[in-house]
């Protein structure tokens, strides 16, 4: 990281620090709290907030509760401030949202798709383009979560759907912008990532892995993905195609997997496994509603899948010694409905030293929204830099003054330890 050596560089650095602090706390801390947390002088903080307000990056509101004296102000997102477009592409549908600084989510569109690359990504690309036109320079980037390993450049493989090295940006109809050649526009190309890795990132920023040094996150949908999180960062591997614990032979089976391996753990955990144990058709990213019905009514199928999940968790705990194991997607529901079966199945597989002090296992604090929020975080990570803020200032005079259409969106906020 470059060290600030001039007053201008220090001011730019502190602008980023302040915006990052507002974003990370969910726009829930007062100016005085942020000033203290960042070690800023009061006058410096006032000048920074005023400048960020002039640039339409921050807007202050009075705190809902405050002591006697001058009303306490809470910095939050400006009504015309930056937006991250975030998409969660699942095997059978996608969700597109606009996310403000601080993490407030406005769902723009939810659409089913036919499971093919063209059927899933082309309509999503059209939706992204339409919302970018409407929201103008407020959009500072696009993040997309997909249920498969993603290589550099946005090539994704979703084996159980038959996707092999699918070029996501190309099918979205997005092409490199002038910014990639040194221009002054924000990049058109999305930040494409694995859904489990993004869900883990969100859990580390806004969920139950916040402040945890070593955590294990498992995301369960039709099958299962998992990733180790160290100091708040999901470990992506040498080729950035990690988060594939579901393709380890942890379930004890020997059936061939579409990925090319045999006995993959993800074949025994998830919606496909629930459907199979209930004697129903499965595969191809279809059957979500039927799987939810099985989860709600078939205790035997649920317990069987929970036991497979517990055995694999035990093996990973032996290997990685996490402080906390978090479960998102169907994993949280399996934990809620069959947590005792999961623990009982895993205990015999734990080393004695692990059994004496096992890690906490917790359902995600973010529900199904983790992958979407992780996609949002990837965009703001790129934006909340001195370069990102300078680009915003250059585009500021022509900035569009539009906001998401209040008649056609749903607002999502989450309450708990870490408000969004």
CATH ID of 7-77, from 1.10.10.10, 1.10.1040.10, 3.40.1550.10, 1.10.300.10: 1.10.10.10
Q: Token pair for residue 181?
A: 């050649």
CATH 1.10.10.10 domain residues, the chain:
7-77
CATH 3.30.420.40 domain residues, the chain:
83-196+369-412, 212-365
Closest CA to 55 of 90, 12, 119: 12
Matching residue, tokens 């249920």: 147
Weakest-pLDDT range from 4-8, 80-84, 275-279: 4-8
Q: Is this structure's pTM higher than 0.75?
A: yes
- For 396, the 3-state DSSP assignment is helix
- Which band of pLDDT confidence, cut at 50, 70 and 90, is reported for residue 234? very high
Matching residue, tokens 């300078």: 390
pLDDT at 416 exceeding the cut of 70? no
The predicted pLDDT at position 186 comes to: 54
All residues at 6 or more sequence positions from 143 whose CB lies less than 8 Å from its CB, including other chains:
84, 85, 86, 87, 190, 191, 192, 193, 198, 374, 375, 376, 377, 378, 379
pLDDT tens digits along 348-361: 999 999 999 999 99
Percent of the chain having pLDDT more than 70? Answer: 88
Terminal C-alpha separation, the chain? 28
**Domain spanning 212-365: CATH 3.30.420.40:** yes
Range 83-196+369-412: architecture per CATH: 2-Layer Sandwich (3.30)
pLDDT tens digits along 144-190: 999 999 987 789 999 889 999 999 999 998 754 433 334 445 566 89
379/99 Cα distance (integer angstroms): 10
The predicted pLDDT at position 236 comes to: 82
pLDDT at 387 exceeding the cut of 90? yes
Weakest-pLDDT range from 108-117, 232-241, 293-302: 232-241
pLDDT at 261 exceeding the cut of 80? yes
């Amino acid at each position: 990281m470059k060290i600030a050596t001039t007053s201008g560089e220090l001011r730019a650095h502190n602008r980023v620090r302040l915006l990052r602090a507002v974003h990370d706390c969910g726009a829930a801390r007062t100016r005085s709290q942020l000033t203290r947390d960042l070690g800023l002088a009061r006058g410096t903080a006032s000048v920074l907030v005023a400048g960020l307000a002039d640039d339409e990056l921050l807007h202050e509101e009075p705190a809902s509760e405050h002591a006697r004296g001058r009303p306490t102000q809470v910095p939050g997102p400006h009504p015309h401030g930056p937006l991250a477009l975030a998409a969660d592409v699942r095997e059978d549908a996608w969700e597109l949202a606009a996310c403000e600084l601080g993490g407030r989510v406005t769902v723009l569109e939810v659409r089913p798709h036919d499971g093919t690359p063209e059927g899933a990504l082309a309509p999503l690309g059209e939706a992204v383009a339409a919302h970018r036109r409407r929201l103008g320079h407020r959009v500072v980037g696009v993040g997309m979560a997909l249920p498969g390993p993603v290589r550099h450049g946005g090539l994704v493989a979703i084996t159980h759907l038959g996707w092999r090295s699918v070029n996501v940006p190309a099918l979205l109809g997005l092409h490199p912008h002038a910014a990639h050649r040194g221009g002054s526009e924000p990049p058109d190309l999305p930040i494409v990532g694995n859904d489990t890795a993004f869900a883990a990132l969100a859990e580390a920023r806004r969920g139950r892995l916040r402040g945890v040094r070593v955590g294990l996150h498992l995301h369960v949908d039709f099958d299962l993905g998992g990733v180790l999180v160290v100091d708040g960062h999901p470990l992506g591997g040498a080729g950035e195609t990690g988060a594939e614990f579901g393709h380890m032979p942890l379930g004890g089976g020997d059936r061939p997997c579409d990925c090319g391996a045999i006995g993959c753990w993800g074949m025994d955990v998830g919606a496909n496994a629930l459907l199979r144990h209930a004697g129903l058709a499965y595969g191809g990213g279809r059957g979500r509603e039927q799987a939810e019905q099985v989860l709600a009514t078939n205790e035997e199928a649920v317990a069987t899948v929970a036991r497979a999940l517990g055995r694999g968790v035990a093996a990973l705990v032996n290997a990685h010694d996490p402080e906390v194991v978090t479960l998102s997607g169907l994993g949280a529901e399996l934990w809620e409905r069959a947590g005792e079966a999961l623990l009982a199945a895993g205990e015999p597989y734990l080393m004695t030293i692990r059994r004496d002090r096992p890690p906490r296992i917790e359902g995600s604090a973010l529900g199904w929204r983790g992958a979407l929020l992780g996609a949002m975080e990837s965009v703001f990570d790129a934006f909340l830099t001195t370069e990102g803020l300078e680009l915003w200032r250059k585009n500021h005079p022509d900035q569009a003054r539009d906001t998401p259409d209040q008649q056609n969106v749903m607002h999502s906020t989450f309450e708990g330890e870490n408000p969004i």
